[in-house]
């Protein structure tokens, strides 16, 4: 008997039992189910939610791989073991040592994220008796990419449980949540363990352990440096673009994020409207701040000067605006759902991101807060867009009756 038949028999045997959703989740992972249509359309398009989510994961994989190498590279660079490399194919970047060190640091984060998150999903599916929905496949991949490299695993596990339960399951699971679960996890970390998440030590691996010793290394990000009116030595704009800088694991390489964005737009999985309008929003806010500086309203003595004075386009290559725009803001469940609404939603995310970045002295990365804020407002945006359609219909009726 083939594997297919064996699995089919198990499925029939446990149909309607408590553990059925858990088994089905694994079964449908191997095989597209044998479900057929009933009345309604007798044929269906090829895409399902698994395929959709899988496409997003594939767009994330390059960022993950780059993040692994970068983790090792930043560590060895900070300890002085290797020379700085320049350009995407820099000699000291794609090395075996970097891979080993990075993988040792990053893969546990991936495993904890998926393991804990999927366990919670399975638990809820079994308790509530619905199928395991695929939403966490993407969330589980996003989470390791948006946390600092040196985050303790227990901290991540706690945050994932919080994020999945409070961010998603209490609303009814995938498709019903208001906040992006990955960002809920990030926000939980930020507010529960602020010294970890906003310090200048966590962004390069092992910087924390070495702090205060003779081997101390800096673990600061460029944003952190700019916020203190400093710059990091030895980093130019190309390094920022290619991603050879300290930062959250997956967000540094703007080059690969753009590749991922193009892939998502081409496959029609990601919304180009949101991506584009977020970028426009960020540029507009950056331009306004540049204008404020050049009008000399804010002088060099101001604590906002450092980030305000950054040329507007550079905001895109520092921090995680692009990563947020491409992978987080576009989450269809929490984003605006109407096409017109998407433009407004994206623009405001970009706009508010840069505003928070400049004005928040404690923690200069505003993207995740901006996206969470707009998640909350997305239904309101949609409401007014849909009301436009409703009003048009009312008007048509009035013209008729008048």
Partner 1 sequence: MSKDIRIKKGLDIKLVGEAEKTTVAAKASSYYAVKPEDFHSIIPKMLVKVGHKVKAGQALFHSKLDETLLFPSPVSGEISEIVRGAKRKILEIRILADATQAHEDFGKKDAAKMSGDEVKTHLLAAGCWPFIKQRPYDVIANPSKSPKAIFVSGHDSSPLAADLDYVLTGKEAELTAALTALTKLTEGSVHVVTKKGGNSPLANVAGTTSHTVSGPHPAGNVGTHINKIDPVNKGEVVWTVAAKDLIIIGEVLLTGKFNATRTIAVTGSQITKPQYITAIAGASMKDVLAGNVNLDNTRIISGNVLSGRQESEDGVLGYYDNQITAIPEGDDYEFFGWNKPIFNKISVSRAFTFSWLNPNKKYDLNTNTNGEHRAFVTTGTYEEVFPLDIYPMQTLKACMYADLDEMEALGMYEVAPEDFALTEFVCVSKQPHQKIIREGLDLMLKEIG
37 or 195: whose CB is closer to partner 1?
37
Q: Are 327 and 278 in contact (CB under 8 A)?
A: no
216 or 376: whose CB is closer to partner 1?
376
Q: Are 330 and 275 in contact (CB under 8 A)?
A: yes
Residue 321 — φ and ψ, nearest 5°? -60, -45
**Smallest distance from partner 1 to CB 392, Å:** 8
Please report how many Cα atoms fall inside a 13 Å half-sphere around the Cα of residue 323, on the Cβ side: 31
54 or 95: whose CB is closer to partner 1?
54
48 or 97: whose CB is closer to partner 1?
48
**Smallest distance from partner 1 to CB 248, Å:** 26
CA–CA distance, 126 with 209 (Å, rounded to integer): 41
In terms of Cβ atoms closer than 10 Å to its own Cβ (0-12, 13-18, 19+), residue 188 is: buried
Q: How many whole angstroms from its chain centre is CA 167?
A: 15
Query: Structure tokens of 168?
Result: 């998603």
Neighbours of 195 (CB within 10 A): 8
**Smallest distance from partner 1 to CB 16, Å:** 16
Query: Structure tokens of 77?
Result: 């660079």
Q: Are 130 and 173 in contact (CB under 8 A)?
A: yes
**Smallest distance from partner 1 to CB 180, Å:** 13
CA–CA distance, 392 with 320 (Å, rounded to integer): 40
Task: List Cα–Cα distances, 225 to 59, 92, 232, 332, in angstroms.
Answer: 30, 24, 6, 34
53 or 310: whose CB is closer to partner 1?
53
CA–CA distance, 359 with 355 (Å, rounded to integer): 6
Q: Which residues, 6 or more positions from 321, have their beta carbon under 8 angstroms from its beta carbon?
A: 278, 279, 282, 315, 350, 353, 354, 367
Q: Is 127 helix (H, G, I), strand (E, B) or coil?
A: helix
**Smallest distance from partner 1 to CB 39, Å:** 6
Q: Are 257 and 326 in contact (CB under 8 A)?
A: yes
Question: What is the DSSP-derived secondary structure letter of residue 173?
Answer: S
**Smallest distance from partner 1 to CB 50, Å:** 4
CA–CA distance, 117 with 120 (Å, rounded to integer): 5
**Smallest distance from partner 1 to CB 385, Å:** 8
CA–CA distance, 245 with 317 (Å, rounded to integer): 11
149 or 264: whose CB is closer to partner 1?
264
38 or 213: whose CB is closer to partner 1?
38
**Smallest distance from partner 1 to CB 382, Å:** 8
**Smallest distance from partner 1 to CB 240, Å:** 31
Residues that bind partner 1 (CB under 8 A): 4, 7-8, 24, 28-52, 54-55, 131, 133-135, 172-176, 266-269, 271, 332-333, 335, 337-339, 342, 382, 386, 389-390, 392-394, 396-397, 400
Residue 10 — φ and ψ, nearest 5°? -65, -40
**Smallest distance from partner 1 to CB 18, Å:** 18
In terms of Cβ atoms closer than 10 Å to its own Cβ (0-12, 13-18, 19+), residue 287 is: middle
33 or 194: whose CB is closer to partner 1?
33
84 or 262: whose CB is closer to partner 1?
262
41 or 195: whose CB is closer to partner 1?
41
């Amino acid at each position: 008997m083939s594997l297919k038949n064996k699995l089919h028999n198990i499925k029939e045997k446990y149909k309607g039992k408590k553990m059925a959703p858990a088994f089905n989740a694994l079964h449908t992972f191997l095989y597209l189910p044998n479900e057929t249509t009933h009345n309604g359309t007798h044929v269906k398009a090829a895409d399902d939610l698994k395929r959709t989510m899988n496409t997003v994961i594939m767009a994330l994989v390059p960022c993950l791989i780059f993040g692994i190498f970068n983790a090792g590279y930043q560590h060895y660079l900070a300890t002085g073991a290797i020379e700085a490399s320049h350009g995407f194919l820099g000699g000291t970047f794609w090395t075996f040592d970097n891979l080993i060190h990075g993988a040792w640091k990053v893969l546990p984060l991936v495993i904890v994220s998926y393991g804990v998150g999927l366990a919670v999903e399975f638990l809820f599916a079994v308790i509530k008796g619905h199928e395991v929905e695929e939403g966490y496949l993407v969330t589980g991949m996003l989470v390791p990419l948006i946390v600092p490299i040196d985050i303790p695993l227990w901290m991540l596990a706690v945050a994932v449980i919080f994020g999945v339960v409070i961010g998603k399951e209490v609303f009814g699971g995938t498709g019903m949540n208001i906040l992006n679960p990955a960002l809920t996890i990030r926000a939980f970390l930020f507010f529960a363990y602020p010294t970890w998440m906003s310090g200048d030590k966590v962004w390069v691996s092992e910087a924390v352990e070495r702090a205060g010793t003779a081997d101390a290394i800096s673990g600061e990000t460029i944003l952190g440096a700019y916020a203190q009116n400093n710059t990091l030595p030895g980093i130019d704009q190309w390094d920022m673009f290619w991603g050879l800088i300290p930062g959250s694991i997956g967000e540094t390489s703007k080059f690969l994020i753009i590749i991922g964005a193009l892939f998502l737009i081409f496959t029609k999985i990601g919304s180009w409207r949101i991506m584009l309008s977020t970028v426009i929003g960020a540029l507009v806010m950056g331009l306004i701040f540049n204008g404020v500086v050049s009008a000399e309203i804010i002088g060099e003595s101001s604590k906002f000067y450092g980030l305000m004075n950054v040329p507007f386009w550079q905001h895109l290559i520092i921090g995680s605006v692009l990563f947020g725009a491409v992978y987080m803001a576009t989450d269809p469940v929490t984003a605006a759902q109407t096409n017109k609404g998407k433009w407004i939603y994206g623009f405001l995310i970009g706009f508010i991101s840069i505003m928070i970045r400049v004005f928040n002295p404690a923690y200069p990365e505003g993207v995740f807060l901006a996206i969470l804020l707009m998640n909350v407002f997305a239904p309101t945006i949609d409401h007014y867009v849909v009301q436009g359609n409703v009003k048009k219909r009312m008007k048509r009726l009035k013209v008729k009756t008048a």
